[in-house]
Amino acid sequence: MTTMLLAAVLISAAGLTGIIRAVALKRQLLDIPNHRSSHQRPTPKGGGLAFVITFLMALTGLVLTHAIPLSIYLALMAGGLITAVVGYVDDLRELSPKIRIISHVGAAAIGLLCIGGMPPLNLGFTVWHWGWIGHAVGVLGLVWTINLYNFMDGIDGIAASEAVFASVAGGALLIAAGTADLGTISLVLAAACAGFLIWNWPPAKIFMGDTGSGFLGYMLGLLAIAGSGSSRMTLWLWGLLLGVFIVDTLVTLVTRVRAGRKWSQAHRSHAYQHLTIRWGSHLKVTLAVNLINVLWLLPLAVAAWQWPPGSLVLAAAGLVPLLITAVVLKAGQESFSSTISSSGS
């Protein structure tokens, strides 16, 4: 049943992406390159709508067949719709950062309320019970992942392939930990993103836009929080699965803020963007990120699953080299000005 569902979701997402691309071309709904862009050709946008619709429809089917709890369905559906709608409007006409943040905070608060707040945090030597402060930390964490994903959606295939990796790995580990409902949801999200990735793989034929990037950030963030309620699935493990995105965004943001730049100002100074300019290829960078995920972060995540008390130490061991790499690549610094010849994200 699960295999058939995943195949249906993947095929549906791929087909719907093709339809959305045709409509976008006909109506000239294109991402036009500017000085901050990593692509050079006008490219259809809004493709994220395909995996948003496909995933939420599959999610509705799962709750109607009692395969998942109503609470997690409401959390994903409500917050997901808010982030997707806000992103879609932002794709059509740019919204102010204030409106986006208020919407993201609202989505995060609703999602956290539906799942009952933050699960205890395993620190290895002790377990931290959040209490009331957990609500604030959880909301801030979800707002962070929503915007993190938007920041990292800058070259062909990187955001969609990261979502496929994290969702497949997280889903498999959730199922192995006995949390089949969340694991199934995670795998369905992976299938929806894989269908879109067929069109978004370098050179991209369509972009997901804010419609898709914010939605993915919310989904992965909420699944990480809800999934960390399992004795084996700690937040540190999820931090490993999303390590490349977390580290690049964190170093870039801190560097820019220290330099006096606005955090919300559009730019092209992430480590992966600098590397794209150096290598002159979206494909090489996207493949490099996927290799880091599979060969470095995944084994550490599996080890963290097998040894939950050591997950914090394993996360530090996995993320520190990435942090050093981001600093070496001058994440957050406007130091690379050459153009590249690939098509975009």
Residue from 41, 228, 252 nearest 120 by CA: 228
Say which amino acid occupies 266: A
Question: How does pLDDT run across 14-25, given as a tens digit for each residue?
Answer: 999 999 999 999
- Bond before 44 cis per omega within 30 degrees: no
The whole-number pLDDT of residue 345 equals 47
The whole-number pLDDT of residue 44 equals 94
Say which amino acid occupies 140: L
Residue from 85, 212, 89 nearest 153 by CA: 212
pLDDT at 341 over 60: no
The whole-number pLDDT of residue 38 equals 66
Q: Are 248 and 326 in contact (CB under 8 A)?
A: yes
Q: What is the pTM of this model?
A: 0.94
Average pLDDT for 250-271:
86
Average pLDDT for 286-303:
98
- Looking at every residue in the chain, the average pLDDT score rounds to 92
128 beta partners: 121
C-alpha span between 319 and 34 (Å, rounded): 33
Q: Are 86 and 214 in contact (CB under 8 A)?
A: yes
C-alpha span between 326 and 73 (Å, rounded): 36
Question: How does pLDDT run across 69-96, given as a tens digit for each residue?
Answer: 999 999 999 999 999 999 999 998 889 9
The whole-number pLDDT of residue 260 equals 85
Average pLDDT for 155-160:
97
CA distances for 52 relative to 55, 131, 170, angstroms: 5, 33, 19
Q: Are 242 and 220 in contact (CB under 8 A)?
A: yes
